[in-house]
């Protein structure tokens, strides 16, 4: 009965957006309270697709469903691998249940190959150059800093923690010779610098798991963006979503992710790829490998 009431609530939230109180709404998702437990929330994926900080916008039928299903497929695999997650469980085609977190306002990017903005910061490096050691970058989400008197000439800058403070760099300008355009004396996690290391480690572990999952699908995960939060128990968890908007995946020499949309691909083609990726991530499972140890018997050592 309880379960039924919750499904009715979720269904009503989906069909009547004004029905449930909205805790937060972004370009591609809506967060609503979970009536059963205030430490949890319902996350809904929308049919919108955006690029270039919202300057390019479109929508297609199925996007919300593909995004929700892909995120749930990915988080189920990560949960099986022991990554601490805000994700709890899939509710239905457009919703999942997750922990309410205090979000840490950094976009954490992990790269196996040089693509996208990395190429503009490092123009001497060829596209698809492989990094044997994963590259981790932090981009500060500056939108929430507006109104705090902090001048932000360019949003979501590359962030580097140094002895002088939090250095901000233009993300689409060569990094060599670039001086930070701003050095923040106060920035998120300033009082908990060890968390930067912890986040970088967890982001790399997550990348390695998904890189292997994509290899089994004959595709290359070349980079991704993840976000972290602190849950109500004070624990660091991987939060937000990981869907086809958040990574670059190459198969047969083609991107099969949002890059096609950024590059001006037809929306039908984009929709087809999102559907394909939803099915592929549905096959992500933890392989049941066995480690078998043979012990020599004592008599093997006796020379006759
Ligand atoms: P780049 O910095 O090369 O543009 O992006 C690196 C990776 O992060 C890519 O996989 C890209 O899809 C992802 N990414 C960068 N910015 C965003 C963003 O604002 N939202 C999402 N969902 N992913 C992003």
Range of the domain at 83: 2-104+198-266
Residues 110 and 243 in one domain: no
Same domain? For 261 and 214 the reply is yes
Q: Name the residue with the closest Cα to ligand 1, atom 8.
A: 225
279 belongs to a structural domain: no
In a domain, 299, yes or no: no
Would you place residue 303 in the very low, low, confident or very high pLDDT band (cuts 50, 70, 90)?
low
Domain identity same for 183 and 209: no
Residue 282 lies in a domain: no
Q: Are residues 98 and 63 in the same domain?
A: yes
Looking at beta carbons, which pairs linking 272-276 to residues 24 or more positions away fall under 8 Å? Answer: 273/244, 274/60, 274/62, 274/63, 274/66, 274/67, 274/70, 274/244, 275/62, 275/66
Say whether pLDDT at 28 is over 90.
yes
Q: Is residue 296 part of a domain?
A: no
Final residue of a structural domain among 162, 188, 214: 188
Query: Is the residue at 277 inside a domain?
Result: no
Atom of ligand 1 nearest to the CA of 223: 10
Q: Which residue has the higher pLDDT, 300 or 99?
A: 99
Of 59-73, 92-106, 278-292, the one with minimum mean pLDDT is: 278-292
Q: Give the other-Cβ count within 10 Å of 282's Cβ.
A: 13
pLDDT tens column, 175-218: 999 999 999 999 999 999 999 999 999 999 999 999 999 999 99
- Find the CATH number of the domain harbouring 248: 3.30.200.20
Q: Is residue 274 part of a domain?
A: no
Query: How far does residue 79's CA lie from ligand 1's centre (Å)?
Result: 23
Name the domain boundary from 188, 221, 256: 188
Tally of domains in the chain: 2
Q: Do residues 254 and 126 both lie within one domain?
A: no
Say yes or no: 244 and 156 in one domain. no
Domain identity same for 70 and 215: yes
On whether both 81 and 227 belong to a single domain, the answer is yes
Please report whether residue 303 resides in a domain.
no
Residues 74 and 164 in one domain: no
Q: Is residue 281 part of a domain?
A: no
pLDDT at 263 > cutoff 50: yes
Q: Which pLDDT value is given to residue 155?
A: 79
- Residues lining ligand 1, Cβ inside 6 A: 107, 109, 115-118, 223-225, 245-248, 258
Q: pLDDT confidence of 234, banded at 50, 70, 90?
A: very high
The reported pLDDT for the residue numbered 262 is 97
pLDDT of residue 135 exceeding 70, the answer is yes
Give residue-wise pLDDT tens across range 141-151.
987 665 456 66
| Per-residue pLDDT at 3 exceeds 80 | no
Same-domain status, 94 and 130 = no
- Domain end: 160, 188, 216, which one? 188
90: nearest Cα among 77, 74, 76, 72: 72
This prediction's pTM: 0.90
Using DSSP's 3-state secondary structure scheme, residue 6 falls into helix
Pair 99, 204 in one domain: yes
Are residues 166 and 177 located together in one domain of the fold?
yes
CB 129 within 8 A of CB 113: yes
Residue 17 has pLDDT above 50, yes or no: no
Q: Counting atoms of ligand 1 from 1, which one is nearest the CA of 224?
A: 10
Q: What percent of the chain lies above the pLDDT cut of 70?
A: 89
Report CA(247)–ligand 1 centroid distance (Å). Answer: 6
pLDDT averaged over every residue in the chain: 91
For residue 298, pLDDT beyond 80? no
**Contacts (Cβ under 8 Å, ≥6 apart) of 197:** none
């Amino acid at each position: 009965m309880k379960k039924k009431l919750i499904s009715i609530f979720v269904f009503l939230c989906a069909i009547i957006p004004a029905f449930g109180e909205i805790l937060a709404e972004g370009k591609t998702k809506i967060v609503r309270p979970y009536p059963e437990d205030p430490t949890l929330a319902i996350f809904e994926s929308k049919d919108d697709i955006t690029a270039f900080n919202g300057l390019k916008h479109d929508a297609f039928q199925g996007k919300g469903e593909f995004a929700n299903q892909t995120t749930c497929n990915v988080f189920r695999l990560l949960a099986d691998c022991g990554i601490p997650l805000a994700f709890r469980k899939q509710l239905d085609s457009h919703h999942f249940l997750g922990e309410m977190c205090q979000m840490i306002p950094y976009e954490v990017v992990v790269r196996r190959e040089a693509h996208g903005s990395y190429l503009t910061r490092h123009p001497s490096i060829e596209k698809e150059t492989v990094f044997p050691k994963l590259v981790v970058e932090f981009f500060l989400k500056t939108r929430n800093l507006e109104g705090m008197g902090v001048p932000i000439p360019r949003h979501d800058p590359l962030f580097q923690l140094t002895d002088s403070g939090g250095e901000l760099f233009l993300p689409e300008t060569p990094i060599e010779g670039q001086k930070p355009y701003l050095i923040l004396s106060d920035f998120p996690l300033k009082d908990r610098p060890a968390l930067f290391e912890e986040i970088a480690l967890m982001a790399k572990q997550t990348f390695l798991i998904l890189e292997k999952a994509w290899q089994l699908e004959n595709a290359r995960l070349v980079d991704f963006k993840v976000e972290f939060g602190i849950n109500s128990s004070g624990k660091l968890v991987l939060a937000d979503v990981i869907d086809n908007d958040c990574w670059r995946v190459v198969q047969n020499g083609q991107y099969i992710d949002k890059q096609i949309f950024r590059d001006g691909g037809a929306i039908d083609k984009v929709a087809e790829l999102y559907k394909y990726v939803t099915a592929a991530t549905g096959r992500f499972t933890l392989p049941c490998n066995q480690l078998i140890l043979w012990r020599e018997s004592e008599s093997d050592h006796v020379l006759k």
